[in-house]
Amino acid sequence: MSEATTTDQQLRLFIERVERLEEEKKGIADDIRDTYNEAKSNGYDPKIMRQIVRLRKMPIHDRKEMEAILDVYKSALGID
């Protein structure tokens, strides 16, 4: 019975830790949203900023490849 209690306590600790992390994640998401809103109030476009953040996360090689393919597609559709 002692082992079950120890296992139950361990599970409870994991669940509580996940709950705390979820709260922190929500707080960070709120901070990010507030930052985009602040940038918007200063004249920046949050949609474009999100794209830039996404691009900056990508490895340079992948980004250049994506941009090259995008250029080919735009050219094929006469967008340029």
To which residue do tokens 């209690």 refer? 5
Q: Which domain holds residue 64?
A: 2-76
- What global pTM score does this model have? 0.73
To which residue do tokens 């900056």 refer? 56
Digits of tens for pLDDT over the chain (80 positions)? 566 788 999 999 999 999 999 999 999 999 999 999 999 999 999 999 999 999 999 999 999 999 999 999 999 999 97
Report the Cα 9 to chain-centroid distance in Å: 33
Tokens standing for 21?
Answer: 């992390």
CA dist 5 → 10, 17, 29, 35, 78 (Å): 9, 18, 36, 45, 68
Domain count, the chain: 1
Q: Are 34 and 26 in contact (CB under 8 A)?
A: no
